[in-house]
Amino acid sequence: MRPEPIPHASPTALPGYAATGQIDELRATEYRHLDTDGQVYLDYAGAGVAAQAQIRAHHDRLLAGLFSNPHSENPTSVAAGSLVESARREVLAFFRADPAEYAVVFTPNASGACRLVGEAYDFGRAAPLVLTWDNHNSVNGIREYARSSGASVRYVPLSGPELRVAESDLVVALDTGRGGLARRWGRSGRRGLFAYPAQSNFSGVQHPLGWVELAHQRGYDVLLDAAAFAPTNRLDLSVVRPDFVCLSWYKLFGYPTGVGALLARRAALARLRRPWFAGGTIRAVSVQGDWHRPMDDESAFEDGTLNFLSIPDVEFGLRWLDSIGVDVVHARVGLLTEWLLERLATLRHDTGGPLVQVYGPTTGAGRGGTVTFNLRHPDGTLVDERLVAREAAGAGFSLRTGCFCNPGAGEGAFGISRTSTRQRLLAGVDTIDQYLAALRLPTGGAVRVSFGLASAATDAERFVAFVQSTYLNRNVGAESPLPPRLRC
């Protein structure tokens, strides 16, 4: 049964909401499938939602033309290759990147973009990897490449209830060993990689883009994870110049899936050394001579045959998003996020205790449209996030529960110490639930809702109504068994 909106001022009454009315018009036409069967979509951090126009454009293009593997010179191959190159140009234009400075490498997703950098970066004793705690696992995984090359890996911790990174801690991590190792091991030029998210996919915290230049001044290349940031924020590469940017297009506009990108400064791309080659990445190769020559441009990083039938959809998606306006989407998401945070903060049990515990910023300042939290019973104990997942799904809400592939942010949010994790890991626990019990954690994750391109006021209102009607003053009861946690 659909919960009734609670009696409180609607987000539509907020100053500036009317200026984003174009989104409501699109919601009723191009995104009307969002409202079928009384559903509420609140997982834009997981995936964007495609407009009907995007699907029509894909359909019409395939029926109107004939396209084949672009690694040839026949007419259908040339047609496909032309559309791929047009998409590259559109990507650079959208991010205001100078084609002479930046290249676009198409990948399966943002994770694939991170892997390209990790496997080919020149890590070593004098070239460390520095990361913030709240990186997505696709960025955390780069540490395995770094360690296998003998590089040190340094993490910058989160501090305070807002789960932000203190710039002073970042400077210390970047400056550790500065100069000494580089001179000792005879390295010149840049000496390491700094990787961080422009926006945390756990807390919604937006880290300063100015850290790119801060790291550059200390001799680092910078990998900026923009997968959670770019869908609702303008990233201008004529102003901020990271060496590498990883993206997944379905996060920006829902379709196509299976296509991402690495935006790379050409100078930084030229310093990468791939540990292998594949079809499409080489100019020439010999079996008997045991040699190969890679391509001299971005195609040296595009393994095998590109997804040439879907990459043109990226161009349409970017133009679609541009026609709505990234700034309009940013404003709408910011208004809904701030309203949701304020409403959740007002929900209190009759005992006086809060119903909701938010992890990260509790206001709209310096954050994006991702809100992560746990619910509390009147006695202060946490409501199991698996129960929330089950009941929210039953009420038609699509949201996310668990750890969100961001262990560092979770450890910061739940106050897990480095000592305890190491001691407990040595205890030989086998399952996630045993591990949580060993750490004495009351639950195994959190609840995450996130707004995006097609979000409307009713989405936020109905969710708050659901939380209030389902969990306010609800005591711990004999719930039916919950499924075991399989991973985190």
Catalytic residue list: 405
Q: Sheet holding 153-156: strands in order across?
A: 102-107, 260-265, 244-248, 220-225, 192-197, 129-132, 153-156
Q: In this structure, is the dihedral angle defined by the CA atoms of residues 362, 364, 368 and 369, taken in order, positive or negative?
A: positive
277 phi-psi bin (left φ>0, alpha ψ -120 to 50, beta other):
beta
- Give the number of other CB atoms < 10 A from CB of residue 182: 19
Residue 95's nearest CA partner among 234, 228, 254, 261 is: 234
**What does the alpha-carbon distance between residue 367 and residue 224 come to, in Å, rounded to a whole number?**
16
Among 338, 345, 466, 340, which residue's Cα sits nearest to residue 397?
466
Tell me how crowded residue 348 is: count the other CB atoms within 10 A of its CB.
15
Question: What are the distances in angstroms from CA 168 to CA 89, 156, 319?
Answer: 38, 10, 40
- Structural element, H or E, at residue 92: helix 75-94
* Closest CA relative to residue 234, chosen from 94, 90, 48, 26: 94
Q: Return the closest-CA partner of residue 375 out of 364, 388, 362.
A: 388
Q: Which helix (H) or strand (E) covers residue 142, if one does?
A: helix 142-148
Buried b (16+ CB within 10 A) or exposed e, 252-269: bbbbbbebbbbbbbeebb
Contact 106, 85 (CB under 8 A): no
Alpha-carbon span 488 to 486, nearest angstrom: 7
